[in-house]
Amino acid sequence: MDLVVATREGLYCPPGRFYIDPWRPVDRAVITHAHADHARAGHGAYLAAAAGEQVLRARLGDIALQTLPYGESVELDGVKVSLHPAGHVLGSAQVRIEYHGEVWVASGDYKLAADPTCRAFEPVRCHTFITESTFGLPIYRWQDGRTLFGEMNQWWARNAAQGRASVLFCYAFGKAQRVLASVDAGIGPIVVHGAVAAVNDAYRAAGVVLPAALRLVEVADKAVLQQALILAPPSARGSPWLRRFGNYSDGFASGWMRVRGNQRRRSVDRGFALSDHADWPGLQQAIAATGAERVFVTHGSVHAMVRWLREQGLQGEAFSTEYGDEEDGDRGEPIVAEEA
């Protein structure tokens, strides 16, 4: 018996009678993380990692939520379920399912790179592994964090010396907090869009330490903006809020910036290849560490990853899902309106 099957509502565990990150309303959902393509409103009951409770409630409101610390297990209709760190964003989890000696792991989204704002990815041994493949092509190989954030600091410092604000477009949940925790806050003030500030509050409520960041309405002296790093979601581009910064240099933080030409297509001054997903070597490393002989691919470069898996002698298959790509902007994400 397959422990997870694809249905119209989402990935379903028949013996446990629960869904994993379903995209249509169901009675019982196990959630890997709070990005909108994985955590949707309308389910009867939710189970998620305790570390992500603040963000999940901030995004979905008053839901029937049961939380589980990483590594602890609960039985759902005789199926043993536990949640393990995925390293993607705060509270992200891999779902381990055990039934009659068979073990499956649904990873959700994950990364292996260091991130001070969330628990690091922990490989979980299993018979069958369900993986993403957002950046499942050999071209995608990330720089180490020290080098990447060093380049980001240099860009910001150079702009500040020239009296220009540095506007960095980045995903409001996960990416923005990672940037905030990793840049050199001594270069100048940091200002955040309301969408970013709302998630920052949830991170701080969960105990994550982040440097001070101001909303625009909290900046008394507008001259300080010329020294500032401004973190904003891509949806803020071209908005009246952005025009208040006058002369600025803009950048975009996304794994897609690894492809030559995407910076030009985004019409930004600078691109930073920063992703909260595993790169090609990371995907290979994570899959190998599970020891799984059977691997399902859910989204991203699905066909390329399935082909590679089969070349390695593994049983590579695909699930058809409705998971999206938060790297590409804010599709499907609630955006908090910024103050007038």
Mapping DSSP to helix (H, G, I), strand (E, B) and coil, where does residue 284 land?
A: helix
∠ CA 180-270-305, nearest 5°, is 80
Q: Which residues of 2-18 are buried (b: 16+ CB within 10 A; e: fewer)?
A: ebbeeeebbbbbebbeb
Helix axes 280-290, 302-311, angle to 10 degrees: 50
Low-confidence ranges of the chain (pLDDT < 50): 329-340
**Distance between CA 24 and CA 331 in Å, rounded?**
17
pLDDT of residue 27: 98
Q: What is the CATH number of domain 145-272?
A: 3.40.50
pLDDT of residue 326: 65
Where in the chain is CATH 3.40.50? Answer: 145-272
Contacts for 33 with CB less than 8 Å, ≥ 6 apart? 39, 48, 52, 86, 88, 89, 91, 92, 93, 108, 109
**Distance between CA 293 and CA 30 in Å, rounded?**
24
pLDDT of residue 335: 37
pLDDT of residue 328: 55
Where in the chain is CATH 3.60.15.10? Answer: 5-139+276-328
Which ranges of the chain does DSSP label H, i.e. alpha helix? 53-60, 145-161, 175-182, 194-205, 240-243, 262-266, 280-290, 302-311
Tens digits of per-residue pLDDT, 60-114?
Answer: 999 999 999 999 999 999 999 999 999 999 999 999 999 999 999 999 999 999 9
Mean predicted lDDT score pLDDT of the chain: 94
Contacts for 176 with CB less than 8 Å, ≥ 6 apart? 170, 192, 196, 199, 200, 231, 233
Residue 98 tokens, joined:
């055990």
For domain 5-139+276-328, say whether CATH 3.40.50.300 is its number. Answer: no
